[in-house]
Structure 1
């Protein structure tokens, strides 16, 4: 449920470039309100960069001016007692599917009543960063009752991310039936880290799956390898088949599911109003990135980037290289992103078209104001709660719904006070 629109404002630019005469004055002699000036001033409060010698490739690529929400916020706990919850998906009746990393899935009412765990899910490898991760309802849920989820699949010789779908059978003891694995990350590797795992459906019924590079060196080097799923965004049909218009569908030796490459570990993804995919990926020490992955393009990892190893050792000789894309925005120090939505509701008019990202190590709900595909302002919300925010989605009521990453994780609702 992370497919919410972002309006890319081009009016100011086009008005200076077009030879078309200006539109007539509106009825009644009224003139349209002027466009709000872009934010200016210092960035949000944060520590010094880990790699100060790495400078942004263009103005505003990092440390955008701080902005401040004018609306007073009300944060309400809907439910608690979740053990490291990971994802939320809304059912058509406004109930929520909520996953727990250890392998449980619940149905939660808007009032916070939790169902028994949904029965019938396959076993997960929940070591490290693994487990039951994202969940989405199918585009045809009203007819099929199909739900989709990602999980670390235990395998001989290791594990890998898998995408499964099944029919959700509602009731006092909910269950799934006819479980089908539609995608498996390959190759299999014994790693408990960096498998990605976000799902995003597009209006034409395609499914984006974000994949990490497994962190360990054996996996990291495969982020540039088209024979491997590691460090990629893949695009499949809901039954797991491969769309023929994928960029590498006819490339010999390449895995045809691949949409883009050169990623580290993508745990945040959403669509904008033009149905373009946006992602936020985990960097190392420094170098979390906001990207707009396009078909067939290379986003640089591990060749280029803006961070360093956790030990302080260098990873990249440069932040730029021919044929490799720059991030729209990056953070150093990191926010540790997980979960993402682009706001389109009516409860917070000032937030419309803003990007919201869950922050783990930053313990914040990160808000980005975007204009012309560039970040022009940043805000850190809910920092007083000192909570790791794992997930953020927009509900059908226009509120934001969050999950906190804790052994007693909370489902929170953010509304105007």
Structure 2
């Protein structure tokens, strides 16, 4: 199927996707939310959890349409890009919602005007079909150091498919240089035990401290962190003016930010492109102009077989769903761009293979995509 292409959009090394007519899906609306930020189905259920940036969380039984609220959430630093972030469930747990292990990330206030991302873990307790609360919830990880500003927290969670470890994206907090500093966990992908401590065998473990958390570095603002069907980890990353990218995340690799980027600084100052510094790991695909991604998934192919193992990325500035394929050398090519006319924040595949998308901002709608 061919989607609608944005005018003037190109990817490095690839031609722009051709414009087309029609869309290979039908869209239904399932309510609206207050600045929705992340979506996650509780494994083995039809229940979708939705975080709202100001610090609230809802859940929707997608089979019945019943909407509920989760209480007992942490205090968040709601400003700029900060607030309540990701929600994730420990793989392998099944049965009723009550008793599930749940993970959250958020922007946490610090001393003075500083802030930093945090991750916590607790147990879900449900008093009724519309009311749950977090019990025994505690912070298990923090960005180090807390800094000024309210951007680039990233704080996306991805569990290994077997549930042994979790990976966490930690943004550069709009500071740039810390992404190259192995003495901080800013601008990094981290590999952690389920209790938030450094996982054994990480590439910089001999340095101790937060260096022991680091799996890869030289990242900017990673708003997507996903495993593909073969168990490989990928990230989706905001560049500056240009240079949005998808990376295959490799152990110990340095992705070059802020030394290299396929974009330029916001004031127009140049940044060397990736090919000028081959010592850094280059992206699988990058965009200039940007797509301003919200998140992405690798699609199973259940309802759209032609999309199997392709990435579907939500676009904020582009207001589009972007579909990307990868070859055997892990080079990406944009296949289609589907215009929604609204900023798109998050995306998740439902248990039946339908696609769920949250629009960005106040009153962001929850949309379900099915084959046309």
Gaps of 5+ in 2: none
* Residue of structure 2 aligned with 1:86, choices 25, 34, 37: 37
Are residues 83 and 253 of structure 1, via their aligned partners in 2, closer, same or farther at CA, if it must alter by over 3 Å?
A: closer
- What's the CA shift string for 1:130-150, capped at 9, x where partnerless? 000110111243385110011
Q: Is 1:46 equivalent to 2:7 in the alignment?
A: yes
Q: Is 1:333 equivalent to 2:289 in the alignment?
A: yes
Are residues 258 and 67 of structure 1, via their aligned partners in 2, closer, same or farther at CA, if it must alter by over 3 Å?
A: farther
Q: Is the 8 A contact 1:136 1:147 kept in 2?
A: yes
Distance in 2 (alpha carbons) for counterparts of 1:307 and 1:71: 30
Are residues 87 and 254 of structure 1, via their aligned partners in 2, closer, same or farther at CA, if it must alter by over 3 Å?
A: closer
Are residues 318 and 246 of structure 1, via their aligned partners in 2, closer, same or farther at CA, if it must alter by over 3 Å?
A: closer
**Post-superposition shift, 1:71?**
7.0
**Post-superposition shift, 1:64?**
5.4
Query: Of the two structures, which has the highest relative contact order with CA contacts closer than 8 Å and spacing of 6 or more?
Result: 1
Are residues 240 and 253 of structure 1, via their aligned partners in 2, closer, same or farther at CA, if it must alter by over 3 Å?
A: closer
- What's the CA shift string for 1:290-318, capped at 9, x where partnerless? 10110100000000111112222223376
Q: Is 1:147 equivalent to 2:105 in the alignment?
A: no
Matches within 5 A, 1:10-409: 44-47=5-8, 56=12, 60=13, 62-63=14-15, 65-66=17-18, 72-80=24-32, 82-91=33-42, 92-110=44-62, 111-115=64-68, 117-142=69-94, 144-157=99-112, 158-172=114-128, 173-204=131-162, 205-215=164-174, 219-251=175-207, 255-316=211-272, 319-372=275-328, 373-381=330-338, 383=339, 385-409=340-364
The TM-score with structure 2 as length reference comes to 0.91
Distance in 2 (alpha carbons) for counterparts of 1:342 and 1:285: 26
Distance in 1 (alpha carbons) for counterparts of 2:243 and 2:169: 18
The 3-state SS of whatever aligns with 2:122 is strand
**Post-superposition shift, 1:160?**
0.6
Gaps of 5+ in 1: 1-38, 50-54
Distance in 1 (alpha carbons) for counterparts of 2:237 and 2:252: 18
Aligned residues: 361
Bigger strand fraction: 2
Alpha-carbon RMSD across the aligned residues, in angstroms, is 2.3
Distance in 2 (alpha carbons) for counterparts of 1:48 and 1:362: 10
The TM-score with structure 1 as length reference comes to 0.82
Distance in 1 (alpha carbons) for counterparts of 2:165 and 2:15: 34
Distance in 2 (alpha carbons) for counterparts of 1:71 and 1:46: 17
**Post-superposition shift, 1:119?**
1.1
Are residues 118 and 332 of structure 1, via their aligned partners in 2, closer, same or farther at CA, if it must alter by over 3 Å?
A: same
Q: Is the 8 A contact 2:217 2:253 kept in 1?
A: yes
